[in-house]
Amino acid sequence: MKNLTDPFGRRVTYLRLSLTDRCDLRCFYCMAEKMQFLPRKDLLTLEELGQVADAFIARGVRKIRLTGGEPLVRKDFMNVINHLSAHLDAGRLDEIALTTNATQLARFAGPLKDAGVARVNVSLDSLDPHAFNRITRGGNITQVLDGIDAALDVGLKLKINTVALKNDNADDIPEMIEWAHGKGMDLSLIEVMPLGETGEDRFDQYIPLTEIRDKLEQKWALTDTPETTGGPSRYVDIKETGRRLGFISPLSHNFCASCNRVRVTCTGQLFMCLGQDDNADLRAALRGPDGVAALDPILDEAIGRKPEKHEFEIDRRRSAPAVARHMSVTGG
């Protein structure tokens, strides 16, 4: 079957698949305090999630990252992992990855490792229990740190993702980098993106990563690396810690030319670009008369509409977010 290649010649080899919009935390840049979650019938079933993954794998996708919401709070999510694991064993898939807040990781680290999950990205914005509790609106950092230790113990490769927040963690970032690197984990910094209403003013929290980098350069020797993952990350090596630091800055860095990815929400909407609203309804196709057979033509048609670039903007004059849907719906 032919690969998924868009009109700009970019091949789609990477799928980010959201398992749920629900989460046990309420990070203030991500969700509103009182989130209205989707009715369960709107979510793709575990079987449908597997069918969507199969369709993409048949068209040349080699890497799947499971995300959310919080993927580990979806009941029986291990069924999806085990389904993907069979593709891994058969050589049809190169990598199963996961993005999690790690609150449930202590329980699932072993099964995830056994199923062949390679990389786990853990989102953690502060090591200070009070700041963590404030940012996540109620989270307990001990659960997260226990999850991280359990995952390291079973040999999972972890990367820490930290959203840079002007008033909540910007000053603590060097300490977080030292902590992560000391435990053998890389760390990436993320710029706040204008996705969905959260009841907070993002402009107040936005801090360009260039500003953080300037400060880090006063402390450490940073060397740019040519490495790219086809996404919005750029990496530097820090001489003193001996590990990598990533900068994920979709607003100030245009990475679109090398984009290799698409996203499927937990309701089966295929988004060709994180920064645009155009999408294709895979759930309607799957639940229609032709079932899974309807997926393939819809993938072709949708990839034909993958836009050349995103349209993010954080601007005081705009009160509405650039993209109305929350990151927890699209999958980060």
Instruction: Give the residue with the Cβ less far from ligand SF4, 33 or 300.
Output: 33
Who contacts 184 (Cβ-Cβ below 8 Å, separation ≥6)?
152, 243
Residue span 65-104 as binding mask against ligand SAM, x where in contact by CB under 6 A, dash where not? --xx-x----------------------------xxx---
Q: What separation, in Å, do the N-terminal and C-terminal C-alpha atoms of the chain show?
A: 29
Site residues for ligand SF4, 24-43, by CB under 6 A, read: 25-27, 30-31
Binding flag, residue 23, ligand SF4 (CB under 6 A): yes
Instruction: Give the residue with the Cβ less far from ligand SF4, 192 or 216.
Output: 192
Q: If you search the block for the tokens 């196709």, which residue do you land on?
A: 285
Instruction: Give the residue with the Cβ less far from ligand SF4, 100 or 249.
Output: 100
Site residues for ligand SF4, 49-108, by CB under 6 A, read: 68-70, 101
Q: If you search the block for the tokens 């003013």, which residue do you land on?
A: 201
CA–CA distance, 89 with 219 (Å, rounded to integer): 45
Angle at which helix 173-182 crosses helix 209-219, to 10 degrees, equals: 70
What single letter denotes the amino acid at residue 291?
A: G
Binding flag, residue 327, ligand SAM (CB under 6 A): yes
Residue 156's binding partner among ligand SAM, ligand SF4, none (Cβ under 5 to 8 angstroms by kind) is none
Enumerate the β-bridge partners of residue 159: 121, 186
Enumerate the β-bridge partners of residue 99: 121
- Residue number with the smallest Cβ distance to ligand SAM: 332
What's the closest the beta carbon of residue 137 comes to ligand SF4, in angstroms?
A: 8
Residue 26's binding partner among ligand SF4, ligand SAM, none (Cβ under 5 to 8 angstroms by kind) is ligand SF4
Instruction: Give the residue with the Cβ less far from ligand SF4, 26 or 65.
Output: 26
Who contacts 3 (Cβ-Cβ below 8 Å, separation ≥6)?
11, 12, 59, 60
Alpha-helical segments (H) within the chain:
46-58, 77-89, 105-114, 129-135, 141-154, 173-182, 202-205, 209-219, 282-287, 295-303, 327-330
Residue 193's binding partner among ligand SF4, ligand SAM, none (Cβ under 5 to 8 angstroms by kind) is ligand SAM
CA–CA distance, 40 with 191 (Å, rounded to integer): 31
CA–CA distance, 218 with 80 (Å, rounded to integer): 45
- Residues at the interface with ligand SF4 (CB under 6 A): 23, 25-27, 30-31, 68-70, 101, 123, 328
- Residues at the interface with ligand SAM (CB under 6 A): 23, 29-30, 67-68, 70, 99-101, 123, 161, 163, 190, 192-193, 195, 327-328, 332
